[in-house]
A and B are shown apart, each in its own frame.
Chain A
Amino acid sequence: MTKTATAGRKVQRTASDKVFNFFLYLICGIGAFIVLYPMYFIIIASFSDPTAVSSGNVGFFPVRPTLAGYERLLGYASIWRGYRNTILYTVLGTAMMLAVNIPAAYALSRKDLVGRRIINLLLIFPMFFSGGLIPTYMTVRNFGLVDNFWVMIIPFSVVTYYVIVARTFFESSLPDGIWEAAQIDGCGNLRFFFSFVLPLSKAIIAVIALWAAVGIWNQYFNALIYLRSDYLQPLQIILRSILISNQNMASMTTGSAAQEAQELAELIKYAVIVVSSAPIMCMYPFVQKYFNQGVMIGAMKG
């Protein structure tokens, strides 16, 4: 939107446009409220007196502020172990995804790569047809990766979508001329990739790293299928047992009356939601530019 267009519109604003704008901002205001309020509610509920929360007295401000929920969480070792595991899986998994997908994407972006079409086809085919849950599970088991730390990092690190997005980026924003010039100067493919391509592609590397990190942080499917031991479980599995299956609550709420225990269990749920989502949520406003860029690059494929 250029300045002239906006200015032109302002000058010519008619009565019907005023009505239109009134409803526009009204609807969008309500929409933003509907989106933000549940998240805001979780935060204030996590700091409020559990009785007030469960009786519906918490509206816009914490009622009788307390840190009881968070104090209980501090003593809950499996959450922190899950946290540590998730951080490890996220850092190593993201690094692995970058190391695997970015070089492959670069190779596939090169028009002089013999067999480029067929390799591309083999890359895309699994998006249409795959072995399915049980055959994949059996394969992973044959590699000895069931209930193994590395199952969260190695087997599923090739992500077709990341390869396509990065390939599109390389195709459209690396001028053909640099490779030709570098080649004349006697620069080989590997050196060219590491000393020219990578430094010129910081934007796409950032986008894919962020996607990968958020994806790994939030996913629970692979852990559900492939991990058994408690000490390997990532945060999302622990969250599932607390939030969905209602497990492990009794041990944390001994000595209280049933009603009170139930309320405290709910308070802990609010607190655990805040604690587990905070890292991603806090990071998001600062990096949202990159996320949007990534979606646009992905869209160019269309």
Chain B
Amino acid sequence: MASLRKIGNESSIWKRIWRNRSLYLLLLPAAVLMICFTYVPMYGITIAFKDFSPTLGITASPWAGFKYFQQYFNSYNFWNTIRNTLVISIYSVVVTFPLPIVLALLCNQMTHKGFKRFFQVSTYLPHFISTVVMCGMIILFLSPSSGIIPKMFGALGIDIGNLMGEPAAFPHIYVWTEVWQHCGWDSIMYIAALSAVDPSLYEAATVDGASQWQKMIKIDIPMLLPTATVLFILRVGSIMSVGFEKVYLLQTTLNLTTSEIISTYVYKMGLISNQYSLSAAINLFNNIINFILLMSVNLVSKKMSDTSLV
């Protein structure tokens, strides 16, 4: 490295670029694709401020100022979509953030190698089910006429009705199926952090007469804190961006009051109703909030713990 730096100092920047020209060749395909399909669309954001008409194109369409933002802010769907997005995502964080930590702690306490492996492999498995199949399973299992879950409750004398058509049930269905599908997979990171704990800590604790429970509370949990902090920051930063796929698939006309989130609304306004400018404006509004959230969370974490994401 030292020799490289010396060479670097001697020659001009162009010489250094020229010497590594083939490295830029390796970068080229990714750069071209990224410019075409990630950076060029950023210019298209201007349609949020324009009365976009497909015949005129982006550049020639007349400016509309904040018209479409106002249209969104004044619509009934403004508070509705924001509230639904926040309810689903905050509920998700509260439930799906701590559970993988608990899972990793439990996993780490298992001394029976065979069962531990079985437990890990089986809890990872649902992660590989596609979103479409997952939602298909949810709908099948909850079907009021033939689903296994209403049947099970029915056997206990409880009629749970059609949960998919029940607005109040939507966030619960979304979050707890998310736990079922991803909790095991999300624990991998914590299990990795725990496997890096120095075994002599456990030995010393054992000599001091600590029980397994005490070791878990006093050694394992503090060891997981740094990893947990970073992952928590990431989660909080993306609180305004609930994934489109699963919510869209689970939406029915009956549960729309709680299931219409910003991303599904953007899709419907844009590609189904063809209101390009309105859709782009809503999307931009959401992106800006996301951006501010991420940046401030990043700043806070930089101040608090020296762990930042950028």
Contacts and interface: CB of A to CB of B under 8 A. Distances in A.
Given A220-B245, A276-B133, A28 B106 contact: yes
B41 A135 contact: yes
A301 to B, nearest CB: 9
A104 B203 contact: no
Interface in A110-130: 110-115, 119, 122-124, 126, 128-130
Interface residues of B, number: 103
B302 interface: no
A221 B245 contact: yes
A218 interface: yes
Given A156-B37, A302-B230, A28 B119 contact: yes
A217 B130 contact: yes
A21 interface: yes
Contacts of A291: 124
Contact of B287 (A101, A130, A217): A130
Interface string A130-144: 111111111110010
Given A124-B310, A130-B42, A189 B202 contact: no
A186 interface: no
Contacts of A108: 27
Q: Indicate the size class of the contact surface on chain A.
A: 35 or more
A101 B1 CA distance: 25
Contacts of A4: 199, 203
B211 A17 contact: yes
A8 B203 contact: yes
A107 B23 CA distance: 5
Contacts of A110: 20, 23
Nearest to B209: A12
Contacts of A1: 195, 199
A243 B133 contact: yes
B253 interface: no
Nearest to B8: A112
B294 interface: yes
Interface string B243-284: 011000100000000000000001100110000100110011
A133 B45 CA distance: 10
Contacts of B280: 132-135
B146 A114 contact: no
A139 B22 CA distance: 29
A3 B189 CA distance: 23
Given A132-B283, A284-B125, A53 B146 contact: yes
A242 B283 CA distance: 30
A100 interface: yes
Contact of B20 (A34, A114, A218): A114
B25 interface: yes
A27 interface: yes
B1 to A, nearest CB: 6
A285 B1 CA distance: 41
Nearest to B123: A35
Contact of A131 (B26, B41, B133): B41
A66 interface: no
Contacts of B132: 218, 220, 236, 239-240, 243-244
B53 interface: no
Nearest to B206: A8
B270 A9 contact: no
Contacts of A8: 202-203, 206
A113 B23 CA distance: 8
Nearest to A10: B111
A36 B109 CA distance: 21
A247 interface: no
Given A130-B287, A266-B146, 4 more contacts: A56-B152, A115-B17, A133-B270, A219-B131
Interface of A: 1-2, 4-6, 8-10, 12, 14, 16-17, 20-21, 24-25, 27-28, 31-32, 34-36, 38-39, 41-42, 53-56, 99-101, 103-104, 106-108, 110-115, 119, 122-124, 126, 128-140, 143, 154-158, 163, 176, 180, 188-190, 193, 214, 217-221, 225, 236, 239-240, 242-244, 262-263, 266, 269-270, 273, 276-277, 280-281, 284-285, 288, 291-292, 295-296, 299, 302
